[in-house]
Amino acid sequence: MHSNHLLLEEPIRMASILEPSRASFFPAMTKIVGTLGPCSRSVEVISGCLKAGMSVARFDFSWHDAEYHQETLENLKAAIKSTKKLCSVMLDSVGPELLVVNKTENDITLEADDKVILTPDQGQEASSEVLPINFAGLSKAVKKGDTIFLGQYLFTGSETTSVWLEVDEVEGDDVVCVVKNAATLSGSLFTMHASQIRIEMPTLSDKDKQVISTWGVQNKIDFLSLSYTRHAEDVREAREYLSKLCDLSQTQIFAKIENIEGLTHFDEILQEADGIILSRGNLGIDLPPEKVFFFQKSAIYKCNMAGKPAVVTRVVDTMTNNLRPTRAEATDVANAVLDGCDAILLGAETLRGLYPIETISTVGKICAEAEKVFNQDQYFKKTVKYVGEPMTHLESIASSAVRAAIKVKASMIICFTSSGRAARLIAKYRPTMPVLSVVIPRLETDELKWCSSGAFEATQSLIVRGLLPLLADPRHPAKSIDATNESVLKVALDHGKTLGIVKPHDRVVVCQKVGDASVVKIIELED
């Protein structure tokens, strides 16, 4: 991988751009989160998604119930078993989501300049004149001139399935709006987004808590995507709730930044969250178009420097119905990788899109090409400068391992870890080669029974750029006393060979604990 590394700043032969990409065992080091739903829930399709590069499966509870999602998850487990591809599970909370309720599921046609009433009276039938909503406080939150967006998949400006409304007047609990563009709304639920307006609803709703405490606990979810995170307190409250559910005390919380309020409190939210999802669909409505790129680059930079995963959404919307992305979308994916994102999240593209497998494959290929021209040297220097001196012991070891791997043109970095923290720190410095995170489970007891931890640490690395997890035998200590720990190292090297990362005479950098010391060593593989 390192041998093909180029820099956009250096002169290149333009014809070389057309040369076929070298085949790889995985599409990219940037991870892909796929949302599973109606078009992507069979064992066959999920298997195809895993082979194409999906490493995290997202379950969006805005769609369908727990029973439906459980069936999908069982299919995911079967697909993992048949493909031997690891995949972690993300539960996406509903949060304070505003919805239009269309019980008849009849198409609703809205014409430009017509008026439509948004009402909290859900007993009324949805029509082109009246749209029932799930929030009684809208009339108190909006004023004349405010903008509201509706659609099954929010307004992008290029389709006729979403609509832009402007508040004309408030009549009691009802809000009268002027339709600004013609559209046809289809389905039973439409998302509603009130631009730059605070909605007084809890971030973690009662419905969310019920789903987490049942479905989430039953399936020991790896990640909770906390929709509409607006304050650091939202993350603290969610973590406190998870801590009461023993099986989810290690579940990581990814804060979804979806509106101006979340953007304003971004720094405090980042401190509390385990990772950030840049929900560009909703946020792209709140922000002026010319500010969207600024937020993305700034947010990803802050995540990178904090060593926390940054996930970007809404990149290839048109692939919901088309086999190829637009030129702008392809460039957008590449720019997200060059900005430093850890993962690309696909929503409607895989949930109800016609080509979920092809979409994942295409995005993966774009990511892989962008990674070839990622300026690692510049990024490394920037990160070291940001961290400053004196570095912590672990930070120093992590940066040294990456520096050594690049200097000797290593094919892989192996990191032995029990918590996963050391491997994540190595990945923070964005090495150009994969990092094999060998998670050594910890055996623990409550004096009644033994149990091992480590599964969470392994699967949670599946959202971190460049990390490849391997759950080792718990009988092998992560902390070696003989400086070799040959047996577990051999397992790791054999795994690297099986994946096609390393071959004879390649160099590998190994990072591990030896007694109380941390050691970085370079080994060269024999025939």
Judged against a pLDDT cut of 50, whether residue 333 lies above it is answered with yes
pLDDT of residue 185: 85
For 351, residues 6+ apart whose C-beta sits below 8 A from its C-beta are: 35, 36, 37, 38, 39, 40, 60, 63
Q: Cα–Cα distance between 324 and 251 in angstroms, integer?
A: 35
List the structure tokens of 471. 């759950």
Residue whose tokens read 């999906």? 54
| Mean pLDDT computed over 406-416 | 94
| Mean pLDDT computed over 135-140 | 91
For 299, residues 6+ apart whose C-beta sits below 8 A from its C-beta are: 257, 266, 276, 278, 310
Q: Cα–Cα distance between 133 and 199 in angstroms, integer?
A: 14
249 burial via Cβ count (<10 Å: 0-12, 13-18, 19+): exposed
pLDDT of residue 515: 65
Q: Answer for the pair 522, 509: CB distance below 8 angstroms, yes or no.
A: yes
More confident residue, 97 or 80: 80
Highest mean pLDDT of the ranges 31-40, 131-140, 186-195 = 31-40
| Mean pLDDT computed over 54-61 | 96
233-288 residue pLDDT tens: 999 999 999 999 978 989 999 999 999 999 999 999 999 999 999 999 888 888 88
**Res. 484 pLDDT band, cuts 50 70 90:** very low
More confident residue, 500 or 346: 346
Range from 218-232, 307-321, 361-375, 433-447 carrying the lowest mean pLDDT: 433-447
Q: Cα–Cα distance between 260 and 63 in angstroms, integer?
A: 25
Judged against a pLDDT cut of 80, whether residue 444 lies above it is answered with no
**What percentage of the chain has pLDDT greater than the value 90?**
67
The chain-wide mean pLDDT, for the chain, equals 89
pLDDT of residue 161: 74
**Res. 446 pLDDT band, cuts 50 70 90:** low
b/e string for 433-470 if b means 16 or more Cβ within 10 A? bbbbbbbbbeeeeeeeeeeeebbbbbbbbbbbbbbbbb
**Res. 64 pLDDT band, cuts 50 70 90:** confident
List the structure tokens of 89. 């599970």
142-157 residue pLDDT tens: 999 999 988 765 545 4
pLDDT of residue 482: 45
pLDDT of residue 18: 76
pTM: 0.90
List the structure tokens of 416. 């032995």
3-23 residue pLDDT tens: 456 666 666 777 777 777 665
pLDDT of residue 445: 59
202-217 residue pLDDT tens: 999 999 999 999 999 9
Judged against a pLDDT cut of 80, whether residue 76 lies above it is answered with yes
* Beta-carbon count within 10 A of 358 CB: 17
**What percentage of the chain has pLDDT greater than the value 70?**
89
165-184 residue pLDDT tens: 999 999 999 999 999 989 88
Q: Answer for the pair 284, 314: CB distance below 8 angstroms, yes or no.
A: yes
